[in-house]
Structure 1
Amino acid sequence: MASQPQPAINRSAIYWISVLALFTAALANAVRAGAAGAMKADLLDPIDAIHSGEMIGTVLGNSFLGFALSLLVISPLLDRFGAKKVILFAAFCFVVGPALVLASAGTGGAIYAVLNVAMVLWGFGWGATEASINPVIATLYPDDKTGKLNALHAWWPAGIIVGGLLSVLFFRQLDLDWRLLVALPIIPGLALAVWAMRHTFPQTESTVAGVSFNEMMAEPFKRPTFWIFFAIMFLTASAELAPGAWVDVTLTETVGFSGILVLVYVSAIMFVMRHFAGALEHRFSDMGLLWFTTVPAAIGLYLLSTATSAATALFAATFWAFGVCFMWPTMLAAVARRFPKSGPWGIGLVGFAGALAIRFVLPQLGAIYDQAKLARAGGAEALAALQPGTPEMHGVLAYAAETSFQTVAVIPVVLFFVFGAVWFFERGKNTR
């Protein structure tokens, strides 16, 4: 029998479906962060007021756990499942995850367990999104991987902007119930499912090239240099995403300006700049572009540690934004270009490294922050005696923020030498 003709791929539609999926994942991240305090007060304080802070931290952390696990499992099986089914699974998670959070209040003593399950499932949606859209876009635009992946990932900060502003609007202006905010990502989740069902998705680049499943799985282990990029991704995510999750905890108390609004400002810069990544990469190469960005990233993180007002915080955040805006998508493109046989598995592995960074670096930042508070105050009893809002407490928190940001500012300094070394050794080689 003659083979059936393959359905035509609407490249533009697939790109914008990918945009909607990533935007929804980012919106959900911002909404979870924005509603965390209200969820803690409404759902967890009545259960265990003493440990409710630790409990909400665990709940939020489980979304990153779901992200990491689904990314690791789905990536090598993407072409077996089909990218369309994976996107539909992501849409399912974007709907059911927040729905479970909303339903948790009616589960009695199981509230904490239901919240944890809800966050893992919500994180699955994020992981399924990253596992599918990155290799699909790399396949659809083989000659402009860096440019298109950066343009796609510009919609991550766009989702953070919308979610961050809505959080401020809901809680600080309109005084609305936190459940309305948590329910918002259900709307784009449903739209994503309806839109994705109408289109055919391509197979990934490695499958089209005839690379077998076993070859794809073996590629990172046959080429040890792959693990250099795995380690680099751990560091780049630590410089970008970990401080992004940390600014609200630290800056709100120390500069008299909402840390969420600082993150919104940074995200706006990232949204614009990522659309210029393709032209910059063609001028400098991907490693050259990443090497240049480490300098403003280090300067920005250090200046955030010394910020004492809204103006100085925004000035520092500008440097940081210009430094980290290209890191995540350019790293994905760099791996797709250098290790094409690794296919979605290779891209998924480096994304998994980024997820691990968020999971492990944030608690370390918190520990450094807490230790600095104790050291500055003169011990646990002295810290407990300080009243919120006093100059003494402000000085303690400012010192803790300074210490934590100065610690993470070391990471882009390390990356300066790492990217420089890779760029130097690759000179003259065709890595485009």
Structure 2
Amino acid sequence: MTSDSAAASSSPATQPDMKLFWACFIALVATSFVFGVRSTLIGEIAKDFQLSQGDVGRILGVGLWPFALSIIVFSLIIDRIGYKVASLFAIVCHFLAIGLTLMARPDNDLLYWGTFTVALANGTVEALINPVVATLFSKNKAKWLNILHAGWPAGIALGSIFTMLLGGMEVSWQVKFGMCLIPVVIYTLLILPRKFPVNERVAAGVSYRDMLGEFGAFGFFMFTVLLVMAIYQAMGTSANWAVVFGAAAVVALAAGGYTRSLGRPMFIVILITMPFLATTELGTDTWMPDLLSLELGKAAAWILVYTSVIMTILRSFAGPIVHRLSPIGLLVVSAGVAIAGLLLMQGATGWSIVAVATLYAFGKTFLWSTTLGLVSEQFPRGGALSLNGVSAIGVLGMGVIGAPLMGIWQDTDIDKALRDKHPAIHQQVKGNDMANLIGSAPSVNAQAVENLPEADRKTVTTIQNEFKKKTFARTAILPGFMLVCYLGLFLYFRSRGGYKPVEIGAH
């Protein structure tokens, strides 16, 4: 037991430290603020540094897999090194990442390493705050994890508003990004004085082997497959599937041999849904401004802010909703509403998009945070690993499969429509095939489109708009799969007398 853990009471019956909770909340706000500002500024940085799309993809890719790696590694060791050590590591990485990024120049690689370091910091914050809040509120985890994760959309909204308001000013991207120091300094000052509780798994005497067994050989296999794919993606090369599955098999066999566990069946179902869930929420958020830009112009970016504000408000008042529906009931309803929102987005025009985006926001709001609540309540013996492992697999699955697939769908459909209906225009604007993990996809040369006569340019943008919006409808298959899984879990709980959290000592 570490000194900072020993200094705090491990009893769930003690009054929760609300100062610690709000420190965790602000840490998450800072994390998503930095994430949002970096994502918004990448286009400006790419122009300043004259980066190719391949360079941009490499930088965005390295913002992915270190997050998942750090969240898993710290989940494995955080109960031994202590939460204070993990928080110090995250703080140092955040300051270092901002410094490296501000010193980046076209003739050095500091932009890459700054992105790498901020991903490590973000993953460590997630690895820290989720088990802390689950321990603080061990009798009401789903409610408080929802409230905690209101910090993510709040930070996205604040970061997006901040960069858009400064966008029209003569302010360099370095000044805009340097302002990320403000939320990082605030969460540092809030979190350093706090004392951390002993994780409920440790306090209950559940062994380390049992914790690994909850995640199981299947969990380690799935994580390793996605992690190796993400590394290939960051390198900008097609995956060697023998290496991908070979590495995953070795890790899974080692984990299975040690734990003698494939993983809990319900947990496996949840793991399988996570890439679909992450793409439904984060992947669609990533693409939304681009998908709606031809319809709404610059106002499209405000749709993301609007849905983020809705999510922040709803998650902040999640308690009565979770109590009324139960976590699994809320997941069923949320998946159904998300499907409706995505399907309706295809036919929405003009400002009716705002109404549809509102519906979609209601659908996606509770998916991630309630899944964390479900995992923490049903698999408390898994401690930090099971709670954070689902987030790691979700982020990896979205980054290497979900979000790229949305782009491939758009490129393929637009290229086919132009080739079939307007072959002469297609010959003028056809770009190079773009490599991806599973091969390659066609592209449209944006500069060639700009050089077309006005009538032809309008033809291309009309087709682009049509198929960009159709991507929303196609994406609805993802929450559709989730809905099937959630209904199965709902019926399972119903057959056992209804949803009940698992006590930490239960097997």
Same fold (TM over 0.5): yes
The answer as to whether partners of 1:297 and 1:322 remain within 8 angstroms in 2 is: yes
**Counterpart among 331, 335, 340 of residue 380 in structure 2:** 340
Residue equivalent to 1:411: 478
Inter-partner Cα distance in structure 2 for 1:152 and 1:403: 33
2:104 aligns to what SS in structure 1? helix
Greater alpha carbon shift after TM alignment, 358-367 vs 399-408: 399-408
1:431 aligns to what SS in structure 2? coil
Pairwise CA distance, 1:350: 0.4
The answer as to whether partners of 1:387 and 1:393 remain within 8 angstroms in 2 is: no
Q: In structure 2, do the counterparts of structure 1 residues 404 and 129 end up closer, same or farther at CA, with 3 Å as the change threshold? A: same
Residue equivalent to 1:48: none
Residue equivalent to 1:25: 31
1:341-377 alpha-carbon deviations (Å, 9 max, x no partner): 1000101210111111221211111111111221222
Residue equivalent to 1:210: 205
2:64 aligns to what SS in structure 1? helix
Inter-partner Cα distance in structure 1 for 2:360 and 2:40: 22
Inter-partner Cα distance in structure 2 for 1:74 and 1:273: 30
Q: In structure 2, do the counterparts of structure 1 residues 215 and 134 end up closer, same or farther at CA, with 3 Å as the change threshold? A: same
Inter-partner Cα distance in structure 2 for 1:393 and 1:37: 23
Pairwise CA distance, 1:382: 4.1
The answer as to whether partners of 2:4 and 2:82 remain within 8 angstroms in 1 is: no
2:305 aligns to what SS in structure 1? helix
The answer as to whether partners of 2:292 and 2:469 remain within 8 angstroms in 1 is: no
Task: Please give the TM-score of this superposition, normalised by the length of structure 1.
Answer: 0.92
The answer as to whether partners of 1:83 and 1:203 remain within 8 angstroms in 2 is: no
The letter of the residue matching 2:411 is D
Pairwise CA distance, 1:200: 0.9
**Counterpart among 313, 316, 334 of residue 272 in structure 1:** 313
Match runs of 1:291-306 below 5 Å: 291-306=332-347
**Counterpart among 381, 386, 393 of residue 460 in structure 2:** 393
Determine which structure has the larger helix proportion and give its number. 1
Inter-partner Cα distance in structure 2 for 1:318 and 1:181: 29
Flag structure 2 segments of 5+ consecutive residues without an equivalent: 10-15, 217-260, 430-444, 502-507
Inter-partner Cα distance in structure 1 for 2:299 and 2:61: 22
**Counterpart among 110, 119, 124 of residue 128 in structure 1:** 124
The root-mean-square deviation of aligned C-alpha atoms, in Å, is 2.0
Inter-partner Cα distance in structure 1 for 2:91 and 2:308: 24
Quick check: 1:176 aligned with 2:171?
yes
The answer as to whether partners of 2:28 and 2:126 remain within 8 angstroms in 1 is: yes
The answer as to whether partners of 1:94 and 1:185 remain within 8 angstroms in 2 is: no
Greater alpha carbon shift after TM alignment, 275-284 vs 235-244: 275-284
Inter-partner Cα distance in structure 1 for 2:190 and 2:449: 54
Pairwise CA distance, 1:125: 1.2
2:93 aligns to what SS in structure 1? helix
1:258 aligns to what SS in structure 2? helix
1:211 aligns to what SS in structure 2? coil
**Counterpart among 410, 414, 418 of residue 373 in structure 1:** 414
1:4-23 alpha-carbon deviations (Å, 9 max, x no partner): 99434671111011011100
Quick check: 1:79 aligned with 2:87?
no
Quick check: 1:431 aligned with 2:500?
yes
Residue equivalent to 2:232: none
Greater alpha carbon shift after TM alignment, 115-124 vs 6-15: 6-15
Inter-partner Cα distance in structure 1 for 2:77 and 2:314: 33
Pairwise CA distance, 1:399: 2.0
Inter-partner Cα distance in structure 1 for 2:125 and 2:356: 31
The answer as to whether partners of 2:336 and 2:480 remain within 8 angstroms in 1 is: yes
Inter-partner Cα distance in structure 2 for 1:259 and 1:175: 22
Residue equivalent to 2:488: 421
Q: In structure 2, do the counterparts of structure 1 residues 175 and 84 end up closer, same or farther at CA, with 3 Å as the change threshold? A: same
The answer as to whether partners of 1:92 and 1:193 remain within 8 angstroms in 2 is: no
The answer as to whether partners of 1:251 and 1:257 remain within 8 angstroms in 2 is: no
The letter of the residue matching 2:333 is F
Q: In structure 2, do the counterparts of structure 1 residues 147 and 109 end up closer, same or farther at CA, with 3 Å as the change threshold? A: same
Greater alpha carbon shift after TM alignment, 408-417 vs 23-32: 408-417
Identity, in percent, stands at 29
1:104 aligns to what SS in structure 2? coil
Inter-partner Cα distance in structure 1 for 2:410 and 2:56: 18
1:31-85 alpha-carbon deviations (Å, 9 max, x no partner): 011101110011134xxxxxx1221122122112221111111112111121122
**Counterpart among 150, 154, 157 of residue 150 in structure 2:** 154
The answer as to whether partners of 1:30 and 1:164 remain within 8 angstroms in 2 is: yes
Inter-partner Cα distance in structure 1 for 2:211 and 2:418: 54
The answer as to whether partners of 2:334 and 2:362 remain within 8 angstroms in 1 is: yes
Match runs of 1:10-409 below 5 Å: 11-45=17-51, 52-105=52-105, 109-110=107-108, 113-172=109-168, 174-221=169-216, 222=261, 223-309=264-350, 311-360=351-400, 361-378=402-419, 380-383=426-429, 384=445, 386-387=449-450, 390-409=457-476
The answer as to whether partners of 1:17 and 1:192 remain within 8 angstroms in 2 is: yes
Q: In structure 2, do the counterparts of structure 1 residues 301 and 430 end up closer, same or farther at CA, with 3 Å as the change threshold? A: closer
Inter-partner Cα distance in structure 1 for 2:349 and 2:4: 66
Inter-partner Cα distance in structure 2 for 1:256 and 1:190: 35
The letter of the residue matching 1:406 is A
1:369-401 alpha-carbon deviations (Å, 9 max, x no partner): 111221222265243553378421321221221
Pairwise CA distance, 1:282: 1.3
Flag structure 1 segments of 5+ consecutive residues without an equivalent: 46-51
The letter of the residue matching 2:427 is E
1:238-293 alpha-carbon deviations (Å, 9 max, x no partner): 21110000112221123334332111000010011112322111111111011011
Pairwise CA distance, 1:218: 1.7
The letter of the residue matching 1:134 is N
Inter-partner Cα distance in structure 2 for 1:34 and 1:255: 18
2:285 aligns to what SS in structure 1? helix
The answer as to whether partners of 1:26 and 1:156 remain within 8 angstroms in 2 is: yes
The letter of the residue matching 1:328 is W
The answer as to whether partners of 1:146 and 1:281 remain within 8 angstroms in 2 is: yes
